Amino acid sequence: MTSLIRIFIFLFYWIPQLSACSGPAEINPERTEVRTGAEVLLERYLDEMEGLRVGLVMNPTARIGSTHLLDTLLAEGVNITALFAPEHGFRGEAGAGEIIEDGVDQASGLPVFSLYGSTRKPTGEMLKYVDLLIFDMQDVGARFYTYIATLGLVLEAAAEHRVPVWILDRPNPAGGDFVSGWILEEEFISFVGPFPIPIAHGLTMGELAAMMTGERWIEFENPPVIRVVEMEGWRREMKWPDTGLNWVPPSPNLPAFEHAFVYLGTVFYEGTSLSEGRGTTDPFLTIGDPGTRLTPDQLERLKAVSESLRIDEISFTPVSIPGVAPAPKHENRLSNGIRISVSDFGFDPVKAGLEIFTLMLDATDEYELRNFLYLLAGTREIDRLISGELSAKDLDFQLEPFLESRSHYLLYP
């Protein structure tokens, strides 16, 4: 049995990552090759790091091709003195929510300071031997993805200790024109919702850094010194398949872009007793519960949510996957539900996900709503959907003020 579990873990986790390094899963024949901020850094700015002690805030997505940027910079002779690890770890060794401990990077021998444990903001002691911080992480474009909270805290600490920050920009996978979902209300500010932005914000990390500073969403006496090393070739209308870049999972449960795109609307099951598919081969595309019983009418309504989606009724059993889903909901219990497949990305995953969410709750005998649901939604308006007072198709997220504010911080056409 142990051997079978190990084989499953290899097939589930490592093969998607190896595939991501060898070529993109989704191919658009008209795609344009995008050059990331990391590539531009190596081409233009290496000489400016000469003589500086450099700290890196990164995760496994900080790659050029199949090589982690840390290893590339070391090979180029850059004086790296400290590594800072967000959720999932510097090299991606931890699952969602797992505490990251301070330690040592085994490949380089460099110290690793945790930013996802008892300390989430770099301290003066951590920055004592750092003259420059370089931030490079692939975001997924979601307000509740914790990397943007980490970015805000890094900028606060950098401003306090007068350490400049270079942000190596990467695409927003969902596209720079895609903005959807409720804007976070002040009552629900948390590490999974640090700023008053919609669920899908349509910004890159560099643009977010400019906006959180310009709008004073972060605390500082003197503004942080930020340089955004911009991408080349990226346009706002691009979704991930248009970029020509390889997908490297930004966290273990988003093994392909399809999962990350649908995640924008299926994340809400994390705030309920229903499974969001952790512990299966398709997290956030597999939804269900031991008490889910779909009627023929409910299944037909699910299938009619979007022409871009195929929804199949399935049964599945979540299992523990160390480092990916160590203790999934309904572990080793047969669950009933659906499997979502995407034929194209020309739909709103937030609205589609909310419509699927209400239908799946209606089809489940008993379920629990947890406070985490409101931290994800950023509002209690989701209760009106669950009660049937509102329909997901009729939602108006009132995004105009946000779109006007963010227009001043856009770096790309």
- Condensed to tens digits (0 to 9), the pLDDT of residues 119-132 reads 999 999 999 999 99
402 contact partners, CB below 8 Å, separation of at least 6: 179, 183, 196, 197, 198
Residue 283 falls inside a structural domain: yes
Mark whether 271 and 215 lie in a shared domain. Answer: no
Mark whether 190 and 117 lie in a shared domain. Answer: yes
Query: Is residue 349 pLDDT above 70, yes or no?
Result: yes
DSSP 291-324: TB---HHHHHHHHTS-TTEEEEEEEE----BTTT
Q: Which class for 68: exposed (0-12), middle (13-18), buried (19 or more C-beta within 10 A)?
A: buried
pLDDT band of residue 365 (cuts 50, 70, 90) is very high
Domain CATH for 368: 3.90.1150.140
pLDDT of residue 94: 59
Mark whether 297 and 368 lie in a shared domain. Answer: yes
> Which of 327 and 13 is assigned the larger pLDDT?
327
Q: How many residues are recorded in the chain?
A: 413
278 contacts 372 by C-beta, under 8 angstroms: no
pLDDT band of residue 32 (cuts 50, 70, 90) is low
Query: Is residue 14 pLDDT above 50, yes or no?
Result: no
Question: Nearest CA to 257 among 268, 272, 270, 246?
Answer: 246
- Condensed to tens digits (0 to 9), the pLDDT of residues 217-252 reads 999 999 999 999 999 999 999 999 999 999 999 999
| Residues above pLDDT 70, as percent of the chain | 91
pLDDT of residue 2: 38
Query: Is residue 7 pLDDT above 50, yes or no?
Result: no
Mean pLDDT of the chain: 92
pLDDT of residue 25: 35
Tell me the sheet residues that pair with 383: none
Mark whether 238 and 330 lie in a shared domain. Answer: no
Mark whether 152 and 50 lie in a shared domain. Answer: yes
Q: What is the average per-residue pLDDT within 195-207?
A: 98
pLDDT of residue 88: 79
Domain CATH for 66: 3.40.50.12170
Q: What is the average per-residue pLDDT within 25-29?
A: 40
284 contacts 266 by C-beta, under 8 angstroms: yes
pLDDT of residue 331: 98
pLDDT band of residue 272 (cuts 50, 70, 90) is very high
Find the domain containing 106 and state its range: 33-249
Q: What is the average per-residue pLDDT within 101-119?
A: 93
Q: How far is CA 108 from the centre of its chain?
A: 26
pLDDT of residue 27: 39
Mark whether 54 and 38 lie in a shared domain. Answer: yes
Query: Is residue 184 pLDDT above 90, yes or no?
Result: yes
- Condensed to tens digits (0 to 9), the pLDDT of residues 311-339 reads 999 999 999 999 899 999 999 999 999 99
Residue 98 falls inside a structural domain: yes
Q: What is the average per-residue pLDDT within 387-402?
A: 96
Q: What is the average per-residue pLDDT within 374-395?
A: 97
**Cα–Cα–Cα angle for 388, 393, 395, nearest 5°?**
80
3-state DSSP assignment of residue 196: coil
Query: Is residue 385 pLDDT above 60, yes or no?
Result: yes
How far apart are alpha carbons 406 and 201 in whole angstroms?
9
Residue 182 falls inside a structural domain: yes
Mark whether 265 and 389 lie in a shared domain. Answer: yes
How many C-beta neighbours within 10 Å does residue 38 have?
23
Residue 24 falls inside a structural domain: no
Tell me the sheet residues that pair with 55: 82, 133
Residue 136 falls inside a structural domain: yes
The secondary element (H helix, E strand) that includes residue 266 is helix 257-266
> Which of 20 and 202 is assigned the larger pLDDT?
202
Mark whether 296 and 359 lie in a shared domain. Answer: yes
- Condensed to tens digits (0 to 9), the pLDDT of residues 60-98 reads 999 999 999 999 999 999 999 999 999 878 986 655 657
Query: Is residue 412 pLDDT above 80, yes or no?
Result: yes
pLDDT of residue 106: 87
Mark whether 159 and 273 lie in a shared domain. Answer: no
Q: Looking at the 3D structure of the chain, how many domains does it have?
A: 2
pLDDT of residue 135: 98
| Single pTM value for the model | 0.91
Q: Are strands 132-136 and 103-104 parallel, antiparallel or unpaired?
A: unpaired
| Residues above pLDDT 90, as percent of the chain | 87
Query: Is residue 29 pLDDT above 80, yes or no?
Result: no
Mark whether 238 and 343 lie in a shared domain. Answer: no
Residue 72 falls inside a structural domain: yes
Q: What is the average per-residue pLDDT within 386-401?
A: 96
The secondary element (H helix, E strand) that includes residue 103 is strand 103-104
How far apart are alpha carbons 89 and 82 in whole angstroms?
14
Mark whether 291 and 145 lie in a shared domain. Answer: no
Query: Is residue 22 pLDDT above 80, yes or no?
Result: no
Mark whether 122 and 228 lie in a shared domain. Answer: yes
Residue 196 falls inside a structural domain: yes
Q: What is the average per-residue pLDDT within 141-162?
A: 97
- Condensed to tens digits (0 to 9), the pLDDT of residues 261-271 reads 999 999 999 99
- Asked which of 218, 249, 280 is the last residue of a domain, the reply is 249
pLDDT of residue 95: 57
